[in-house]
A = this chain, B = another copy of it.
Amino acid sequence: MTEKTTEELEQLRDLIDGVDQQLLHLLRKRLDLVAQVGAVKHGAGLPIYAPEREAAMLAKRREEAEAIGIQPQLIEDVLRRLMRESYLNEKDVGFKQVREDLGKVVIVGGDGQLGRLFGQMLALSGYQVVSLDKDDWQQADAMFDGAGLVLVTVPIGITCELIREKLSNLPNDCILADLTSIKSAPIEAMMEVHSGPVVGLHPMFGPDVGSFAKQVVVVCHGRDSDQYQWLLEQIKIWGARIVEAEAERHDKAMQLVQAMRHFCTFVYGLNLCREGVDMENLLQFSSPIYRLELAMVGRLFAQNPELYADIIFSQRESFNVISNYLGNFADALKVIEAEDRDTFIKQFNEVSQWFGELAPQFRNESRAMLQSVNDLKSH
């Protein structure tokens, strides 16, 4: 590099440093203003996530960007990232309490990750939260006394048994709810032992989300839905979207969404391990899409095996779904063995047609994701 080049680059980099200083202060200012919006919303009990307002604001910014020669997607991506930060900060303000005269909330399994998250959100909304765990059953009666909501979040394998054996003596008007990832059996058990309001919830996210904003919570109604309407409102205020579903339909979807998916990922990792694959070598050759896929596999194995065993073994029907998949896999492999390229292409086209409009939509969605993934790469 010549001296002149070095000098020119230095000068420009100083100017960029200056712009970045201004940028930092602007971000600080925006976060503060949005925090003030949060405080006003908090006072008025409005949800922190307002999709329409957000869409309108982004549309306006995109226009303004275009007018000064900036790609609209750039400002949208930057603002979405800023909004995420603001959602995370909402927690510092707390949330409006929808129901003030509820009495205690008892979280059965409150020391688990999901139990802690819900306990934290409820406490931030002004509720008195008590955690009941393995060692607390001797004081259970005292804990349940005066409870307005009992929330069950224990491993799937013991949920129904625990409900039947331990929760038959709750106050009549207390709401009994659970957070299990299957819904039919727990709701049946809750309806059996409790004569008051019953509701099944399934938060469709892991306990490591920073915020409820934009997340989905599935609700399967049990009994006396007017009694727990406030709870659904409360969850909306935290930013989540409530999706109502029939328990059976939900459970059927979970065989595919959870059991089969996790099982496939498990086998994928098992296969890499048994093949004695050299991961360093593999990563060296990996494009962003494949690195992402490997990360999704490795992610599973950084977590608790019990959790995945619970999900995979919880519904007997999942075995059938996985068996069918294996059958399709074996069939398709025969096509490869026979080097029958034409049949492969014919089947490919059938699936494309079946995906219809979703295939190109997924293509665009995944392109945006892959670009974000590539942004993260630092070498």
Contacts and interface: CB of A to CB of B under 8 A. Distances in A.
Nearest to A14: B33
A205 interface: yes
Given A78-B78, A209-B374, 7 more contacts: A9-B37, A74-B85, A216-B284, A256-B277, A257-B282, A295-B369, A305-B352
A296 interface: yes
A84 B375 contact: yes
A93 interface: no
Contacts of A282: 253, 256-257
A21 interface: yes
Given A5-B43, A298-B362, A214 B377 contact: yes
Contact of A80 (B36, B284, B376): B376
A39 to B, nearest CB: 9
A365 interface: yes
Interface in A1-38: 1-2, 5, 8-9, 12-13, 15-17, 19-31, 33-34, 36-37
Contacts of A348: 266, 301, 305, 308-309
Interface residues of A, number: 162
Contact of A271 (B5, B74, B272, B325): B325
Interface in A184-239: 204-206, 208-210, 214-216, 218
Given A257-B285, A379-B51, A40 B65 contact: no
A358 B281 CA distance: 13
A102 interface: no
Given A205-B287, A336-B312, A269 B299 contact: no
A126 interface: no
A293 interface: yes
A interface SS class:
helix
A19 B33 contact: yes
B30 A20 contact: yes
Nearest to A60: B17
17 contacts: A15-B33, A20-B75, A20-B79, A28-B70, A31-B70, A205-B287, A241-B379, A253-B281, A254-B285, A257-B285, A270-B347, A279-B355, A289-B296, A292-B296, A298-B358, A298-B361, A299-B366
A337 interface: yes
A120 interface: no
B285 A250 contact: yes
Contacts of A268: 264, 325
A166 interface: no
A46 B269 contact: no
A372 B85 CA distance: 12
B373 A273 contact: no
Max count, chain B CB within 10 A of own CB: residue among A2, A40, A82, A301 = A301
A21 B267 contact: no
Interface stretch (A128-136, A137-145, A172-180, A338-346): A338-346
B81 A81 contact: yes
